[in-house]
Amino acid sequence: MKKTSSIRILSITLCLCLVMTLGGCAWLSNQMKSIKGELIGNHFNIDFYDNFGNNILTMEGDKVGIEANYVESKSINTDGTASTNYELTSVVTMTIDGNQVAQTGNTVIFAEEGIEKLEDFGLSTNITTNGDGTINLFDRNINKIKNMLGTPKIIVVCSQLGVPIAVYGGENVYWEIPDDLPKTTKLNVDGLALYIHRANYILLDSKMIK
């Protein structure tokens, strides 16, 4: 009986520790940021870039949202009956302080106010590691957990032709690929949201840069 009670106490303690850990993790911060964006919006600076990395347009707003667009298509089944399908397009619709902007093709960076670009940052063309790590399968799972908690990272954003656009960095970075936004990656950088749409980018651990 005492053994069972001890196991229960240990289980409860571990659960509490997990909740406390996740309470301050980047993943939870990211989820809260998404909820806030749906309810009252966040102030974003929005930069549009062409394929050559030229900043062709800049916007900002206190209430900003982005959503995917779907198109309806018809298909004929093998039995001759028609069916309707819905496909995700590459067009995103932005709502900026009540105004609508439709966008496709350009690279767009949505940076919440407070996120600063790293100026005069030079990325080496040759990065070598020191041979750390254990087994790839184990390391991959460890990295997934570390991403949930947030880790120091550098984000190098380039146009679709590979022209450097901007570099960001943070001590507590989480990233994910939303399943409802085409060609978009969402990051949480030290508690602030950063969306990268239609871009080439490199996201790497800060410790890899000497």
Burial class (CB in 10 A: 0-12, 13-18, 19+), 80: exposed
pTM (global) more than 0.85: no
Task: Determine the average pLDDT of the residues in 122-129.
Answer: 66
Residue pLDDT, tens place only, 83-115:
888 787 888 888 889 899 998 889 999 999 999
C-alpha 110/C-alpha 98 separation (Å) is 17
Are 143 and 153 in contact, with CB atoms under 8 Å apart? no
- Helix ranges (DSSP H) in the chain: 2-23, 26-39, 136-149
* Least confident range of 7-21, 71-85, 178-192: 7-21
Instruction: State the chain's maximal CA–CA distance in angstroms.
Output: 71
Phi and psi at residue 147, in whole multiples of 5°?
-65, -40
| Bridge-based pairing state of the strands 151-158 and 107-112 | unpaired
Phi and psi at residue 131, in whole multiples of 5°?
80, 15
Q: What percent of the chain has pLDDT above 90?
A: 29
Dig out the tokens for 204 from the structure: 């790497």
| Bridge-based pairing state of the strands 44-49 and 184-189 | unpaired
* Least confident range of 33-37, 59-63, 71-75: 33-37
